[in-house]
Amino acid sequence: MRIYQPTLLTFATTVILLCISATAAPGGSRQLLYSRDDPITIPPYLVFENARLERAYVALQAWKRAIISDPWNLTANWFGSRVCDYNGVVCSSSLDDPSIKTVSGVDLNHGDIAGHLPEELGLLTDIALFHVNSNRFCGTLPLGFSQLSLLFELDLSNNRFAGKFPELVIGLPKLKYLDLRYNELEGELPESLFDKDLDALFLNSNRFVSKIPVNMGNSPVSVLVLASNRFEGCIPTSFGKMGKTLNEIILMDNGLQSCLPNDMGLLRNVTVLDVSYNWLVGELPESMGQMEKLEVLNVERNMLSGVIPEELCSLKNLKEFRFGSNYFTGEPSTCCNLESYNSTMNCLKDEKDQRSTMECKLFLSKPVDCDSFKCNPVTACVSPSTPPPQISPSSPSPVASPISPSPSPPARPCPPIYPPPPPPPESSPYAQQPAVEIPRNSPSQSPMN
């Protein structure tokens, strides 16, 4: 009987994983799960077509051993040397030698499998995609993943991964699609993430707490979703640099507190922009009227004010515009011609369901000073002619007034999160990517669908 000792990785004697197990104590308390790196033994009667498939056998057997629950028995046939017949395993010719068959992908989406990812998965050095969304995997991304130099798509969404952002993914040279949404990741985002050549980045519904790195505009992504975290501070003024590649950006349901950058009009390829449920102030920049491909715009539940730019509601592709629960004082008549729009709870004269006159007067008596947010470089959204009290990060929010109800609701509904774009033609590695369906509450369809 052979004992396989991998040479690509160095294993600790004990891997301690912090997880929420399937049998967690009442109240969802965390438990420590222990996994020893006992070497995988290869029975002498097993014959493999090549050494790469033998290494894949070791990796998959170690993973099967790390699984504590498989309710759909997806890994029931994970035995024997024919690893290409295992459920969820994809094989193809090796890129460096077409005569060699190797494991090129793993797809265990929607399996409800519980367990963790072992270090031995780093032996799958030929995989281009790794999809395990909608399971119950926990712990952290193993260091062995740093060996996956061909990995193109990594989807760990809707699991129970915890800890800091897994910075090892930044070192994966071929990675283009990264989906970590609906996990329990926390802490700050590294600036190097936005210097990486990604096409799609999904980080929503985690526990990230930080300012958005100022170099966000360096990212070449077409889709960026940072919603439902605890990001705070400014929308980086480098935002406008993403105009050539960015198609959709979702920053909703965070703690962002600043003005919108004045050069928003540079985002001429953006079709979906959602910054709702934040603490943004000031006016909508007139340059937004140059966002000629914009289809969905949501700025609800902020503290924006001023008059909606005429050019904005005149955009020929704009179908949905939601700006309720702000302090806007005027809107162009063209907004009424949109397929879907919401203007309630503003300060619009002769409109139904608006804020009280006293509440509007109290808020609007404090002109906005965008420079006070120190989102350098920035131009003030409003140029007050008099020096009355100003809204700034250090001044009390108007919600502290006893006659002014909170502009943000006490309980927020589950926000709509737009799904990834459909796969391109089959010549692209995206052709093997399964769709990730996310329920939406919006009445209109995302342009990504």
| Residue 321 domain boundaries | 188-386
State both tokens at 385.
């002619």
Walk along the chain (449 residues) in steps of 10 and give the mean pLDDT of each run.
Answer: 49 40 41 54 94 97 97 97 98 96 98 97 98 98 97 98 97 98 98 98 97 96 98 93 97 97 95 98 96 98 97 96 97 92 94 96 94 67 41 41 35 42 39 37 37
Residue 239 sits in the same domain as residue 139:
no
Q: HSE on the CB side for 83, CA within 13 Å?
A: 27
Residue 56 sits in the same domain as residue 195:
no
- Residue 416 lies inside a defined structural domain of this protein: no
Residue type, 299: V
Q: Which DSSP symbol is given to 114?
A: E
Residue 335 sits in the same domain as residue 194:
yes
State both tokens at 329.
């004082």
- Rounded to 5 degrees, φ, ψ at 298 are -130, 115
Domain boundary, last residue among 386, 411, 429:
386
Domain boundary, last residue among 338, 354, 386:
386
- Rounded to 5 degrees, φ, ψ at 168 are -60, -25
Structural domains of the chain, count? 2
- Residue 127 lies inside a defined structural domain of this protein: yes
Per residue in 169-222, pLDDT (tens digit) is 999 999 999 999 999 999 999 999 999 999 999 999 999 999 999 999 999 999
> What pLDDT shows up at residue 253?
98
**Class of residue 272 by CB neighbours under 10 A (exposed 0-12, middle 13-18, buried 19+):** buried
Residue 287 sits in the same domain as residue 154:
no
> What pLDDT shows up at residue 3?
58
Residue 199 sits in the same domain as residue 300:
yes
> What pLDDT shows up at residue 110?
97
Please choose, from the candidates 213, 207, 212, 157, the residue with its C-alpha nearest in 3D space to the C-alpha of residue 186: 207
> What pLDDT shows up at residue 251?
98
CATH number assigned to the domain comprising residue 207: 3.80.10.10
CA dist 176 and 124 (Å) reads 18
CA dist 323 and 343 (Å) reads 5
Q: HSE on the CB side for 76, CA within 13 Å?
A: 6
CA dist 422 and 26 (Å) reads 40
- Residue 401 lies inside a defined structural domain of this protein: no
> Pairing state of beta strands 101-107 and 89-93?
antiparallel
Q: HSE on the CB side for 448, CA within 13 Å?
A: 25
H-helix segments, 339-400: 357-364
> What pLDDT shows up at residue 374?
87
Residue 149 sits in the same domain as residue 9:
yes
